[in-house]
Amino acid sequence: MTALMIQGTGSNVGKSLLVAGLCRVARRRGLIVAPFKPQNMSNNAAVTADGGEIGRAQALQALACGIEAHTDMNPVLLKPESETGAQVVVQGKRIATVRARDYAALKPQLLASVLESFRRLKAAHDLVIVEGAGSPAEVNLRTGDIANMGFARAADVPVVLAGDIDRGGVIAQIVGTKAVLDPADAAMIGGFLVNRFRGDPALFDEGYKLIEERTGWRGFGVLPWFPQAGLLPAEDALDLGRGGGGGALKIACLALSRIANFDDLDPLKAEPSVSLTMVRAGEAIPGDTDLVILPGTKSTVGDLAFLRAQGWDIDLAAHLRRGGHVLGICGGYQMLGRTISDPEGIEGAPGDTEALGLLDLTTVMTQDKRLTRTRATHAASGAAMEGYEIHIGRTEGPDRARPFAFVDGAPEGAVSVDGRIMGSYLHGMFAGDDFRRAFLAGFGQVSAGGYGAGVEAVLDALADHIEAHLDVDGLLALAR
């Protein structure tokens, strides 16, 4: 038993969650297991113990395995910065920013790093469960592929194809994939499964048999809809819901066009005392909001323009006149200052951009990227904090004299004179129960606590769900 790969009939068919659940299943069976995704595209990243960054989904999958996240688990990470360009991160470190048309030429050079990381994981674990990206049916992208069949064949890893019945057309999804694949690629597929079924699975018996007959592939089961999936950190901004909760504390988060590391919000969304609203393009910040969060972004200057185009700068001014609070995290923190300088043109044309002017700070963009896990102390409450930093740019100014937190005695972030405008580079701060409790207490609310334990409980429930409905023994036997 060495490795098994879950590929999908399309993006967002549930591959990440399937891999997380199978990782927890394998761990509970006594296997030393690790996740792997050759190539990922996401602005929701995690900082690893070895000082790099990987997709957030692989960090969740590592948690399901009971191990530390490592850069080998996601050797190629693409972080979109515009509609046509993305930052390329290889084995945890940024190597370039390229346009989509140029990335195709770069892919063959990255296969060696992908296989190197995979072999290290394979050597150190009983089982590696691999997640594909997008779909192998995108045969126009097959040349130089490192994410799906190109990897599977290079590493000799058997594949199970997952289809999503909830979006409709699952028979065409799976049968159509077989029809367009090169025969040598199709030979790597050892079977299929159907994900996200609502209702009585027996109603799909005929469709399931039809897929088996048309493809010649073995079926590994029909997995019903898992309603607790929304309680786990999402990777794709498309999965961001409208918010949640009906608590007294009303928090609004601006859904920036390049929003990044938005799982910062998950612990707040899980609090009964909180009502969280995602404010979308074209919507106004609700007038009864207590706290507005400016989240992280992969393009601070670009999303500052996006924010103004929605009229949110005007809404923020009105919100503050009403006595409201604002918290900027990472890129959102940079936006709160007076100016953002980009002398090297890292995010676009070189020059200075006027920011929101809510804090007396200036930010200068630099090529150096800060990637670190951080322990801190909340300045206002003294509560212990844990988080991570993943940003370019240095922020300085008079309001840093009132820090949001202290890191090894040094000031971090900034707070306005009246304490209602706060900024910090620390992602993940709300996952810690102690800090979240203290932060909510500052708004007169009580925290329910236990966020980390809740995520663990959902992963166990997901493993139970998979064990109950899929042929897990058959899936594990397929690994080679």
Active site residue 23: no
Q: Are 411 and 398 in contact (CB under 8 A)?
A: no
pLDDT tier at 266 (50, 70, 90 boundaries)? very high
pLDDT average, residue stretch 367-391 = 94
- How far is 238 from 16, CA to CA, in rounded Å? 14
Alpha carbon distance 45, 374 (integer Å): 15
The ranges assigned to domains in the chain are: 3-230, 241-450
241-450 maps to which CATH number?
3.40.50.880
SS3 336: coil
Tell me: the pLDDT tens digits for 193-205?
A: 999 999 998 999 9
Pairing assessment for the beta strands 421-424 and 414-415 based on DSSP bridges: antiparallel
> Among residues 330, 378, 391, 465, which one is catalytic?
330
Amino acid symbol at 70: H
**Whole-angstrom distance, CA of residue 219 vs CA of residue 215:** 10
Give the residue-averaged pLDDT of 305-334: 98
At which residue do the structure tokens 């999908």 appear? 8
**Listing from the earlier edge strand, what are the strands of the sheet with 414-415?**
243-244, 274-279, 249-254, 291-294, 325-329, 421-424, 414-415
Highest mean pLDDT among 171-175, 229-233, 240-244: 171-175
Q: Give mean pLDDT, residues 72-79.
A: 96
pLDDT, tens digit (0-9, with 9 covering 90-100), for 436-454: 999 999 999 999 999 999 9
Mean pLDDT of 3-17: 96
User: Among 3.40.50.300, 3.40.50.2300, 1.10.10.10, 3.20.10.10, what is the CATH number of 3-230?
Assistant: 3.40.50.300
Domains 3-230 and 241-450 share a fold: yes
**The pLDDT of residue 237:** 55
Residue type for position 181 = L
Residue type, 443: F
**Annotated catalytic residue 427:** yes
**pLDDT-derived band of residue 102, with 50, 70 and 90 as boundaries?**
confident
For 66: left if phi > 0, alpha if psi spans -120 to 50, otherwise beta; the answer is left
This prediction's pTM: 0.93
